[in-house]
């Protein structure tokens, strides 16, 4: 029998994406965006955090590991950056991309340029570890 207390797992709660600018083409794609999230680690809550997302120079948006995730907060000992980075990339591409919940972008031909500017997408997703 437990003592009635529920142990809260470490988690990220990804809340929204602000797509500042994203251009998708066959020869020159890039993006700059930010993500807002909350985090619970080592029994402590961290609220209203943000991280910047950028497409790796020279990468294709559809490639794995094509996004850089940069955060500016003091993280606790149990913070798992690789899990966080991978989760943010999956979350972003779940919203915008070939299977996007918010914007679905299929394969484009060589003369197509798609530009997104100043879009905010609200979608909550919890990642536990």
- Render 20-65 in DSSP notation, one character per residue: EEEEEESS--EEEEEEEEEEEETTEEEEEEEEEEEEPTT--TTSTT
**Model's pTM, two decimal places?**
0.81
List beta partners, residue 18: 34, 120
Q: What is the pLDDT of residue 1?
A: 46
Distances (CA, A) of 52 to 19, 28, 35, 117, 127: 10, 20, 6, 15, 18
pLDDT over 90 (residue 28): no
101, HSE (Cβ side, Cα atoms, 13 Å): 14
List the single range of 6-10, 55-59, 81-85 with lowest mean pLDDT. Answer: 6-10
């Amino acid at each position: 029998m437990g003592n009635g207390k529920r142990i809260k797992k470490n988690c990220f709660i990804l809340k929204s994406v602000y797509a500042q600018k994203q251009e998708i083409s066959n020869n020159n794609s890039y993006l700059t965006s930010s993500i807002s999230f909350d985090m619970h680690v080592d029994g402590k809550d961290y609220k209203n955090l943000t991280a910047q997302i950028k497409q790796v120079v020279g990468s294709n948006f559809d490639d794995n590991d094509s996004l850089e995730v940069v955060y500016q907060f003091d993280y606790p000992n149990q913070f798992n950056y690789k899990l966080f980075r991978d989760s943010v990339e999956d979350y972003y591409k779940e919203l915008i991309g070939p299977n996007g919940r918010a914007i679905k972008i299929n394969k484009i031909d060589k003369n197509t340029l798609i530009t997104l500017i100043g879009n905010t997408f609200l979608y909550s997703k919890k990642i536990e570890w």
